[in-house]
Amino acid sequence: MNIKRLSNIDLPSAKFIETTLNEIITPELNKIGLENNSYKYLWTKNYNSNEIKPIIRFSYRGLNGNLMIGNNFKFIPILNENGSFRKNSSTLHLFENLEFFDTKNKISLWNDKFFKKSIEKIIKTDLKKIENHLNSYNSIEKNIEIAQRQTNNNSFQYDIRFPNPKYILAFLYARVGEKEKGIKILQEFLKENKIKNTDIIEVLSKIKSTTHNKELR
Per-residue DSSP letters for 5-69?
A: -GGG--PPPHHHHHHHHHHHHHHHHHHTT-B--SSTTEEE----TTSEEEEEEEEEETTEEEEEE
Tens of pLDDT, residues 77-108: 998 777 788 888 999 999 999 999 988 889 99
In a domain, 86, yes or no: yes
Residue 144 clears pLDDT 90, i.e. is over it: yes
- Looking at residue 85, what is its pLDDT? 85
In a domain, 177, yes or no: no
The closest of 9, 52, 199, 67 to 140, measured between CA atoms, is 52
In a domain, 104, yes or no: yes
pTM of the model: 0.90
Instruction: Name the residue range of residue 123's domain.
Output: 7-163
With bands split at pLDDT 50, 70 and 90, how would you rate the model's confidence at 214? low
In a domain, 98, yes or no: yes
Residue 217 clears pLDDT 50, i.e. is over it: no
Tell how strand 78-79 and strand 85-86 pair up. antiparallel
* 122 half-sphere exposure, CB direction, 13 A CA radius: 30
Lowest-confidence pick of 15-19, 139-143, 155-159, 187-191: 155-159
Rounded to whole angstroms, the Cα distance separating 181 from 189 reads 12
In a domain, 14, yes or no: yes
Rounded to whole angstroms, the Cα distance separating 62 from 110 reads 9
Lowest-confidence pick of 72-76, 110-114, 159-163, 167-171: 159-163
**Are the C-beta atoms of residues 121 and 198 closer than 8 Å to each other?**
no
* Residue of higher predicted confidence among 215 and 217: 215
Rounded to whole angstroms, the Cα distance separating 129 from 27 reads 17
In a domain, 180, yes or no: no
Instruction: Give the amino acid at 21.
Output: L
Q: How many domains does the chain have?
A: 1
In a domain, 204, yes or no: no
- Looking at residue 195, what is its pLDDT? 87
In a domain, 144, yes or no: yes
Rounded to whole angstroms, the Cα distance separating 175 from 89 reads 17
Give the Cβ contact number of residue 53 at 10 Å.
Answer: 21
